[in-house]
A = this chain, B = another copy of it.
Amino acid sequence: MDELERFSVYFRNAMRSDVGLLDKITQYVLRRKGKQIRPILVLLSAKACGEVSETTFRGAALVELLHTATLVHDDVVDESTRRRGAFSINALWKNKVSVLFGDFLLSRGLLMSLDHRDYQLLHVMSDAVRRMSEGELLQIEKSRKLDIDEETYLRIISDKTASLISACTKSGAVSATSDEDRIESMRIFGERLGLAFQIRDDLFDYGARDVGKPLGIDIQERKMTLPLIHALRSASASERRGILRVVGNRTRSRADLRRIATFVEAEGGLRYARDLMLRFAEEARRSLHILPDSRSRTSLQHLVDYVVGRSY
């Protein structure tokens, strides 16, 4: 993809600094780039809506700067020493330098957008950051009390996951067209794709073999996701009490995890979550209908299939 290389130039330039230490860390980050899903989403969304512009590339760079800053800060908080098959920034340069590097990336993203008057992009991205932090904090708050209903769950995954994906697709759209209907349909596309993606991720927690995640890590962290939420709603009062006691325990044995998984399956929690995921996927696909037929639109459709199709 030729555009992806052009994006890389914007991304690299945005990180430039005459402070030697910063340049060294930047080189390290650039050599270990990830899958670049977010910039690709921005580019595809722009192309599906109209013409790719300079703003598109800056939007793609902005989201990747933001995402990189978040990963660097996350690794500090989680004390992770590995990232993308190599040492994390904090493992090599310590916490203080890592946090400052993340702040530097954020400020460069802001300045790039402000210098070019990309105010709409900035608004879209800032709102995503607000929703991501609110969503994660809501999840932490509610998980402690084990009282998440479906509505709260949907708000959490919408805020913590779908917000950024939706910010990518909307950024691409606003950079390529001023047609409000197209922009809104791309926003909805990202939102629904993000919801489907997160439910799939939560389903994997109940046993899919092709993901690196060990079984039951969400339950270990007392995160209540849709399969369990639905199963608890369907169960009898006494069964519900029994399961909640196990989920709420400080430590849970392998047998406990298996008991919860069996309960969720038996009460139709997996089927229910899968159905909702497929409905969001269908809504995502449908939102693309108003766009003209194009290779980019087809790529976005395939992306939906890929997200929900794996191991189901």
Contacts from A to B (Cβ < 8 Å): 17, 19-22, 73-74, 76-78, 95-97, 99-101, 103-104, 106-108, 110-111, 114-115, 117, 119, 122-123, 126-127, 129-130, 132-134, 136-138, 140-141
The answer on a CB contact under 8 Å between A21 and B130 is no
Most buried by B among A78, A96, A107, A111: A107
The answer on a CB contact under 8 Å between A133 and B76 is no
Bound form: Cα–Cα A26–B126 in Å? 19
Contacts of A111 in B (CB 8 A): 123, 126-127, 130
The answer on a CB contact under 8 Å between A100 and B136 is yes
Given known contacts A20-B141, A123-B111, A123-B114, A133 and B73 CB-to-CB distance under 8 angstroms: no
The answer on a CB contact under 8 Å between B22 and A137 is yes
The answer on a CB contact under 8 Å between A133 and B100 is yes
Min Cβ gap A92→B in Å is 13
The answer on a CB contact under 8 Å between A134 and B77 is no
Given known contacts A111-B123, A122-B114, A101 and B19 CB-to-CB distance under 8 angstroms: no
The answer on a CB contact under 8 Å between B19 and A138 is yes
Contacts of A130 in B (CB 8 A): 104, 107-108, 111
Min Cβ gap A75→B in Å is 11
Bound form: Cα–Cα A114–B96 in Å? 29
A selection of 28 A-B contacts at a CB cut-off of 8 Å is A17-B134, A19-B134, A19-B138, A19-B141, A73-B99, A76-B77, A77-B95, A77-B99, A96-B136, A97-B137, A97-B140, A100-B133, A100-B136, A100-B140, A101-B137, A103-B129, A103-B132, A104-B133, A104-B134, A104-B137, A107-B126, A107-B130, A110-B110, A110-B126, A110-B129, A111-B126, A114-B119, A117-B119
